[in-house]
Amino acid sequence: MNQACSFILLLLAFATASAHVPFRADLPAGAAYAADARQLHPTQFSHGWREVVHKQAKMDAMTPDELKAYLIKKDVPVVIGPGGVPYLTDGHHTLRSLLESKHADKTAYGHVLANWSGLKSEEFWARMEASNYAYLKDGQGRPQPASALPASLLAMQRDPFRGLAWGVMEVHGFRERKDVFFQEFRWADYFRDKVSWNDADDEAFDDAVKAACVLAQSPAAAALPGYRTNALQPRVITEPAKHDTDDPAIWINRADLAKSLVIGTDKNTDGALLAYDLGGKIVRSVPGLKRPNNVDLVTGFALGGKRVDIAVVTEREERRLRVFTLPDLAAADRGDLVVFDGDPERAPMGVALYQRPHDGAVFAIVGGKSGPAEGYLAQYRLEDDGSGRVKMTLVRTFGAYSGRAEIEAIGVDAELGYVYYSDETFGVRKYAADPDAPEANKELALFGTTGFASDREGISIYPQAGGRGYVLVSDQQAYRFQIFPRAGIPGKPHDHPLLAAVDVAAIQSDGSDVTPVELPGFPGGLFVAMTEGKVFHFYAWADLAKAAGLE
C-alpha cells in the first residue's frame, strides 16, 4: 500500500470511527456499530478458504491503523435477530481473515441493516431468506436448516468450490456483480461436479482455475450472474493438446484452401508442434520438443534447390530454433540453431519471421525470457547451408526493454516492413523489420501503454489493400483483443491510437494469428487465438470485425 493511499485511509478511519458505537441489541436500522468479530454470527455455512488466506496476507501487511481504516471502509452489515443476536449478512471472508490475522484487535465495523429482534425464530429466518440475507447450503452445496448454522465464524466449513469460484472471478473468468446475492456460491455450485483437484496443492488449484475458466465461457453457464455475455464465440474449438497450447500460425494451402492448416505449439518439457485442420482436429505432430513456445512461418523459402514453406519454432529448454517444412512437418535443420549464444537466462520464447520483399531473404526475430535494456531482440538470417539444411547468421540485436516483465509476443508486417513486439506490462514497440533499413535500430512507435488489464501478449497483423488494416494485441488478463490502425493516422504512420476492443471467449490468450484469406467456414478470413483448456479458438474475421464495430 503506497503512502498516499495509507494517508487517505487513515483520514477516513479517524473521521468515521467516532460514529461507531459499541454494539447493542437495541440499535436501530442504520446505526453504525463496532463489535468484536467473534461476537457476530454467520448466515452462511461455508467460505472459500483460499480467499480467507489471500485477505489475511493483505491484513498482515497492514499497520494497525491501516487495518482499522480498511475495516471501516468494508462496513460489514448485520441484522439483529431474536435475543439481540447480531447476524452478519456480508463480509464473512473479511472477518474470518481478521480472526486469522496477526493483529490483536479483532474489532469489526459496520451498520445495522434491520433490527428484527422482536420476531420469533421461524418468522425471523423466513424474512432473512426472503431478503437474501442468508445462504442456507452447506460446504457441499446441500440445503440445510437455519438451526444448523455455525455459531461463529471460526466454526464455518471450508468449501473448496467457493474458493474456486473466487479464483475464477479474480482472473476475470466471470465478472463480479455487486447487485447479485451469493454470486460466487452460485458459480461454486456450477463447478461442483465438473472440476476436481487437490486443494492443498497450489499448482493443482491454479490448473483447476484454468479449467473452470473454460467452463465459465460455456453456453451452459450463460444464466449465471457475471457471465461474459458479450464475449465473441469461436466457430471452432480445436481438439485438446496434451499439455498447454501457446502460439499459432496459419498455413494457407493455395492449391486447396480447405486443406489449409493451423500450426500450434504444445508448451511443455515433453512438448510438440501440432498441425490442425480447419475443423480443429490434430492431423500431424512433431513430439519430443523441449518446451516449444512460439511458432511462425513463411512461404517460398529457398532450400535444397527448390522453394518450400517452413515453420520456425523456439525450443526454449534447448535454447535454439527448430525449422520444419510444411505441410509435412519434416525437420529442416541440424539442431544447431542456438540463439543468444546459449545463454540460459535468455532462453528463447517469442519468434516472428520476416521475408524481405525485394530479395526474398528470410529472417527470424527472436525474443528471450530476459534481456538488456537495449538490444533485447536478436535477428538472424536463415539460409540453406548448401546441403538442404537451414543455417542462420546473426545480423543485429535491437529493441528497447522496460525491464518490467519479458518480451515474447512479436509480430511482423512484411508488406510495410515493420516489426511490433509486446514489452509485456509496458506497451507495444515498433521498429523497421529490415536490418539494412536506414536507422533500423530506431524505435518508431510506442503505443498501447494504457488501457490494458496487465500483460500485452499475442500480436497479429490483419492487412488490407493500400496499407490499411489492423494490429491486434491480446489484452491477456481482460480476455479481449485491442485493435489499432495498421497505417497509423493521416500524416502520422507511426501513431497507433486504439480503435476498438473486442471481448473473446479465449481465456488468457498468449498467442494469435490472422489471415485475410477467406477459408471455408471463415468469412473475411481466419483469426486464431490460444486459450486456456489446451485448445485454440478459430474465429471468423467477419464475426470479430462486427463485434468490434469495424464494418
Residues shown for the chain: 551
Count of beta carbons in the 10 Å neighbourhood of residue 130: 9
Q: What is the pLDDT of residues 22-37, one digit of tens each?
A: 999 999 999 999 999 9
Instruction: Give Dmax (Cα) for the chain.
Output: 94
- Across 102-124, average pLDDT: 97
Query: What is the mean predicted confidence (pLDDT) over 234-255?
Result: 96
Q: Residue 230 above 90 pLDDT?
A: no
Short-list 263, 302, 305, 255, CA closest to 286: 263
Give the predicted TM-score (pTM) of the model. Answer: 0.81
Residue 5, pLDDT score: 44
What string of DSSP letters covers 163-179? HHHHHHHHTTSS---TT
- In sequence order, what are the residues at sequence separation of 6 or more whose Cβ sits closer than 8 angstroms to the Cβ of residue 382? 301, 312, 323, 353, 362, 363, 364, 390, 391, 392
Taking the C-alpha atoms of residue 309 and residue 165, their distance in angstroms, rounded to an integer, is 45
User: For the range 187-194, what are the long-range contacts, defined as Cβ-Cβ under 8 Å and sequence gap of 24 or more?
Assistant: 187/216, 187/224, 187/226, 188/48, 188/141, 188/159, 188/161, 188/162, 188/164, 189/137, 189/141, 189/161, 190/215, 190/221, 190/224, 191/161, 191/164, 191/165, 191/215, 192/140, 192/141, 192/161
Query: Cell 466449513 appears where?
Result: 157
pLDDT at 297 over 80: yes
The one-letter code for the residue type at 383 is E
Tell which residue, 441, 423, 422, 35, has the closest CA to residue 431.
441
> What fold characterizes domain 161-221?
Helicase, Ruva Protein; domain 3 (1.10.8)
User: Rounded mean pLDDT of 184-198?
Assistant: 96
Q: Is the pLDDT of residue 9 over 80?
A: no
- Structural domain boundaries in the chain: 3-158, 161-221, 236-548
What is the edge-to-edge ordering of all strands in the sheet holding 271-276? Answer: 245-251, 261-266, 271-276, 282-289
Cβ 273 vs Cβ 267: under 8 Å = no
For 500-524, the DSSP string reads: EEEEBS--S---EEEE-S-BTTBTT
Report whether 509 contacts 460 (CB < 8 A).
no
Q: What is the CATH number of domain 3-158?
A: 3.90.1530.10
pLDDT of residue 205: 96
Alpha carbon 527 to its chain centroid, in Å, reads: 18
Task: Return the closest-CA partner of residue 162 out of 142, 176, 182, 134.
Answer: 182
Q: Say whether pLDDT at 516 is over 90.
A: yes
Element (DSSP H or E) covering residue 447? strand 445-447
393 exposure class (CB count in 10 Å sphere: 0-12, 13-18, 19+): exposed
Q: Are 515 and 485 in contact (CB under 8 A)?
A: no
pLDDT at 161: 97
Measured CA to CA, the distance from residue 237 to residue 231 in angstroms comes to 15
For domain 236-548, the CATH architecture is: 6 Propeller (2.120)
Confidence category of residue 219, pLDDT binned at 50, 70, 90: confident
In the block, residue with C-alpha cell 514489452 = 423
Would you put residue 297 in left (φ > 0), alpha (ψ -120 to 50) or beta?
Answer: beta
In tens, the pLDDT along 350-382 reads 999 999 999 999 999 999 999 999 999 999 999
What pLDDT does residue 18 have? 56
pLDDT of residue 218: 86
Place of cell 474470518: 96
Separation of alpha carbons 534 and 193, rounded Å: 20
Residue pair 91/77 in contact (Cβ under 8 Å)? The answer is yes
User: Which of 478, 355, 458 is CA-nearest to residue 407?
Assistant: 458
Residue 4 has pLDDT above 70, yes or no: no
pLDDT digits (tens, 9 = 90+) for 133-183: 999 999 999 999 999 999 999 999 999 999 999 999 998 899 999 889 999
Q: How many CB atoms lie within 10 A of CB 301?
A: 25
Q: Residue 227: in which H helix or E strand, if any?
A: none
List pLDDT tens digits, range 310-357. Answer: 999 999 999 999 999 999 999 999 999 999 999 999 999 999 999 999
Q: Does the N-terminal peptide bond of residue 327 adopt cis geometry, omega within 30 degrees of 0?
A: yes
